[in-house]
Amino acid sequence: MDIYYEQINELVQDLLIPARMEKTIDKETFDNFYKILDKIENEVRGSENISRKIVGLLFFIYCSLSDEVVTNDYKDELFRAVGKLEDILDRIFWDSPFKG
């Protein structure tokens, strides 16, 4: 998990600065972020514990990005990116019995 933490930590500024300054996303950075999250999801599926360090960083990123969404416009890239992030984090943080 430390490797994933470092990889994500290297992306934080490129994830957050465009969202904060211009309400946009850097698609390449988000694609890299999603790839790391997919690896994390596969690694923690069925686990009882997840690294507190990773959870804290992911929570920080999610909260920071969701604060920047100013509309429920489904065409807005930032809105869709935050929605996708929420879905991925849901799968990482909880093995929901309600999903097929």
Task: Give the pLDDT band (50/70/90) at residue 99.
Answer: low
Question: Tens digits of per-residue pLDDT, 43-53?
Answer: 998 888 899 99
What pTM does this model have?
A: 0.85
Please tell me the total count of domains within the chain. Answer: 1
Domain-located, residue 68: yes
Q: What is the 3-state secondary structure (H, E, C) of the chain?
A: CHHHHHHHHHHHHHHHHHHHHHCCCCHHHHHHHHHHHHHHHHHHCCCCCCCHHHHHHHHHHHHHHHHHCCCCCCCCHHHHHHHHHHHHHHHHHCCCCCCC
The overall average pLDDT reported for the chain is: 91
Does a structural domain hold residue 36? yes
Task: Tell me whether residue 22 is in a domain.
Answer: yes
Q: What is the pLDDT of residue 63?
A: 93
Domain that holds residue 20: 2-93
Q: 98 lies in a domain?
A: no
pLDDT in tens, 36-84: 999 999 999 888 889 999 999 999 999 999 998 877 776 789 999 999 9
Residue 99 lies in a domain: no
Q: 23 lies in a domain?
A: yes
